[in-house]
Structure 1
Amino acid sequence: MTDIGETFRALHQPGNPFILANCWDKGSARMLAAMGAQALATSSAAFAFTLGVPDGDITRDQALAHAQDIVAATPLPVSGDFEDGFGSDPDTVAETVKLAAEIGLAGISVEDNRAPPGAPYDAKLAAERIRAAASAARALPRDFVLVARADGVMNGHYDMAEALARLKSFDEAGADCLYAPIPPSFDDLEAICKSTTKPVNALASGPFASYTHDDFARIGVARISLGGSLARIAQRRIMDAFAEMIEDGSFAMLKKTVSGDKVDDMLRQYM
C-alpha cells in the first residue's frame, strides 16, 4: 500500500520546487489535479470564504471535515493549512497532528501565532508546540510532513533576525519543512534557504508573485505554495464582472469564461 506521506515527502527537493496547489473545494481540487498538480493543500482563507466568514474563524472540526473532502477528491497527497494547530498548548497541537493523519492528510502546517492572525506565541512555547507536533508525527504508523511556520515577520510582529531564530528552533524541534511567508525581500528568502538543510516553502503571493519558478529554484526553495491566491483570483473576477454589470450595464466579461464541457471533462477524471 502506498504511503501518501512518503510520496509527499519525496516531492520536497531543495532547488527543484514543486507547486503545492491550494484549493478550496472538491471541484477546484479535481481541476488542479487534472491540470497536472503533484500535490494539493487546503487554504484556511479560501475555505473561510466558502463559508462566508473571515480567515481565522474556522474551527478544527470544520477544517478537518473540509480537508477530508479534499483528500477524497483525488489520489494526490494533501497538506492541511491548520493555522496555529487550533490551540495554544503543545498537547492540543499534537492531537491535531494525530487527527489530521487519521483523515488521510499527508502533512499539515502550523503557525507560530494565534488566529486571526494574532500576536505570536512566546518563542520558547512556539518551539515546544512544534516539538510536540513532531513527536506526534513520528509516532504515527506512516510518514507525515510537518511544516513549521514563522508568520510574525509577515504580520509585522518581529523582524527577520527573530524569524531566522524561530525557524532554527523549529528545525531543531523536528519540523520537516520550514516556512516564513512573505519575508521582507527575496534575499531574505534565500537567507532562510541557506540557514537550513531542511526543505523550505515559499509563498508565491504579493511581491513574490513577480518571481518565476526558476528564480525560486535558484535560491534553493523546495516547495512553492499559493495560499489563498487562486481563490482570490476567482473573487477578483466576480467583483470585476458584477461591478461592470451594475455600473455599466455590460455583460461582456461573461464571454471570458471556460466552457462547461472542459470543466466537466476535468472533473470526470476523478469521479
Structure 2
Amino acid sequence: MTPTIADKRRRFAELHQAPGCFVMPNPFDIGSAKYLASLGFPALATTSAGMAFAAGRTDGAVDRAYALSHFRDLAHATDLPLNADFEAGFATDAEGVYESARLCVGAGVAGFSIEDYSGDRNAPLFPLSEAVERLRAARSAIDASGETVLLTARSEAILREAGGLTEALRRLAAYAEAGADVLYAPLLRTTEEVAEVVRVAGKLPVNVLVGWPGFTRRQLEDLGVKRISVGGALARVAWGAMMRAAKDIAESGRFDAFAGLPASREIEAALVERPSQ
C-alpha cells in the first residue's frame, strides 16, 4: 500500500525519535530520488545546489515557485519522507517566511530547513534577533497547519565564515529556544566540533553534513548525531563524471569514460521498482 503524505510525515518524526543515526541522502531530480529510494534509505532530502545545477542555475538563483515545484515532485516521487532545503525561506521578512513555510508544508514535505544566511556578503548572517523571528514565523506556520512537519534550524556561521563554531553554537542555542525540531550547522570538520553541537542541542536531534571523505556513519552515531545528509555532493559526483567524460571527448576525441557504465535496463529497474515499506 502506497503511504500517504501523512504517513511519510509520521515516519520521518519516528526516525528522529528512534535509537541510532540515519543517512538521508540528497537527490537532485526525480530519477536520482527513485534510485536512492531503491537502495533502502529511510528518507531523502533536497539540495539547493543540486536543484539549481539541474535547472542550469547557480546555487541560490532558483526562485520560490521553482523550489516548491521541485519539492512537490520529489515528495511524490517515492514512498520515502522528504526533507526540503528551503534556504532562507525565500522571503525578506518574518511575514514572508510564514507564507513561504505555509506553502512548503503544502508541497508535501515531511520537514524543511530555514537558514540564517542573509545573502549579503558584507553581513552574511541575519542579526540574531531577526533570525529568531524568522524561525518563529516558520514554526507558527507549521503549527497552524496541524501537520507533523519537522523544522530544522540551520546556522551558516561556519560555512559563510561569519563567526565560526562559536557563533554557530550561540545561534543554534537560540534557535532551539525558538522552536526548532532539529539543529544543523554545515561544514563541521572535526569530531570535537560535532560533539560541541550535540552538546548544545541537548535533547534535540542534530543533522551533520558529510560532503567529503572523513566521517563515517558509525563515528557520527557514536558522537550522538541523529541524521546525516550529503548536500550537493551526489550532484557534484554526477557532474564530475559527466564533465570528465565530455572533456575527454572534446579535447582528445576519446570515449574511454563510457567503459563500465550501467546498462539502461539496470537504471530503469531502479526507476520503476519501489522498495516495500
1:227 is aligned to 231
Q: CA deviation at 1:268?
A: 0.9
Cα deviation digits, residues 61-120 of structure 1 (max 9, x gap): 110011111111112111111110111311211212211111211111111012487711
2:171 is aligned to 166
Unaligned runs of 5+ in 2: none
2:208 is aligned to 202
| Contact 1:179-1:200 within 8 A present in 2 as well | yes
| Contact 2:188-2:209 within 8 A present in 1 as well | no
Of 217, 220, 240, 1:216 maps to 220
Equivalent AA in structure 2 for residue 34 of structure 1: S
2:84 is aligned to 80
Equivalent AA in structure 1 for residue 211 of structure 2: S
Q: Secondary structure at the match of 1:36?
A: coil
| Contact 2:188-2:208 within 8 A present in 1 as well | no
Equivalent AA in structure 2 for residue 113 of structure 1: Y
Query: RMSD of aligned C-alpha atoms?
Result: 1.7
Equivalent AA in structure 2 for residue 35 of structure 1: L
| Contact 1:3-1:143 within 8 A present in 2 as well | no
1:244 is aligned to 248
Of 179, 183, 188, 1:183 maps to 188
Q: CA deviation at 1:14?
A: 7.9
Q: Distance in 2 between matches of 1:127 and 1:88?
A: 14
Moved over 6 A (4+): none
Of 25, 34, 51, 2:38 maps to 34
Aligned length: 268
1:154 is aligned to 159
Cα deviation digits, residues 3-25 of structure 1 (max 9, x gap): 43221111125861111121111
TM-score (norm 1): 0.94
Q: CA deviation at 1:121?
A: 0.2
Percent same amino acid among aligned pairs? 36
Cα deviation digits, residues 211-258 of structure 1 (max 9, x gap): 111011010110000101001000110111122223333211101211
Cα deviation digits, residues 151-209 of structure 1 (max 9, x gap): 12111011211111100000000000000001353311111001121000000113xx3
1:48 is aligned to 52
Q: Distance in 2 between matches of 1:116 and 1:203?
A: 23
| Contact 2:191-2:223 within 8 A present in 1 as well | no
Unaligned runs of 5+ in 1: none
Cα deviation digits, residues 4-49 of structure 1 (max 9, x gap): 3221111125861111121111111111101112111111100111
Q: Distance in 1 between matches of 2:164 and 2:48?
A: 24
Q: Distance in 2 between matches of 1:237 and 1:102?
A: 35
Q: Distance in 2 between matches of 1:35 and 1:121?
A: 38
1:256 is aligned to 260
Q: Distance in 1 between matches of 2:189 and 2:32?
A: 31
2:102 is aligned to 98
Cα separation, partners in 2 of 1:12 and 1:130, compared to 1, 3 Å: same
Cα separation, partners in 2 of 1:128 and 1:146, compared to 1, 3 Å: same
Q: Distance in 2 between matches of 1:141 and 1:3?
A: 14
1:132 is aligned to 137
| Contact 2:156-2:185 within 8 A present in 1 as well | yes
